Amino acid sequence: MRVLFVCLGNICRSPTAEGVLRHKLREAGLAARVEVDSAGTGDWHVGKAPDTRTGQAALRRGYDLSALRARQVSAEDFARFDLILAMDASNLRHLERLRPSGGGAELDLFLRRYQLALDEVPDPYYGGEAGFEQVLDLIEQAGDALVRELRERL
């Protein structure tokens, strides 16, 4: 199985989801069976490490994002991945436009797929510290549900 998380910049929400899911898959003994990656719909931060605030908040919960580098999502990702999970509705619309006819990866909104309290992971970039904690809270909850789904599907 190959899973791709997508947000706008690939420096806050989707690298957090990548790091959290990798960690949860290791704990579940599934790390060798699921490939995880993340990308952004925008290209402003390509090649950059995650936002410092994102990296520090993640590290406080035991997720090391320091090796990750931003990249932009491409149409080829629909052939490379089985499941592409968007962080918000705007990301999802962008991916629907990018998707080649003929399909490929299943596309969904990450939180909505698991019926959490919110449908979208709010963009923390222009907000304060609490936004980065909320991103982690939501992604940890949805990540648990995703690991359960992957365990059933593998």
Q: Which residues bind ligand 4NP (CB under 6 A)?
A: 7-13, 40, 44, 123, 125
Q: Annotated catalytic, 148?
A: no
Q: Helix and strand tally (H, E) in the chain?
A: 6, 4
With CB atoms as reference, the residue minimizing the distance to ligand 4NP is 9
Q: Which is nearer to ligand 4NP, 1 or 141 (CB)?
A: 141
Question: How many Cβ atoms are within 10 Å of 54's Cβ, its own excluded?
Answer: 25
**Residue whose CB is less far from ligand 4NP, 30 or 125:** 125
Strand partners, 85: 5, 108
Distances (CA, A) of 66 to 50, 101, 137: 7, 36, 20
Q: Is 123 a catalytic residue?
A: yes
Q: Can you tell me the distance from the alpha carbon of 132 to that of 128, in angstroms, rounded to the nearest whole number?
A: 7
Query: Which two structure tokens, joined as six digits, stand for 61?
Result: 């919960």
Catalytic residue among 37, 77, 88, 123: 123
**Closest separation in Å from C-beta 123 to ligand 4NP:** 5
Catalytic residue list contains 13: yes
- Find the shortest distance in angstroms from Cβ 137 to ligand 4NP: 15
Catalytic residue among 12, 13, 53, 88: 13
| Residues annotated as part of the active site | 7, 13, 123
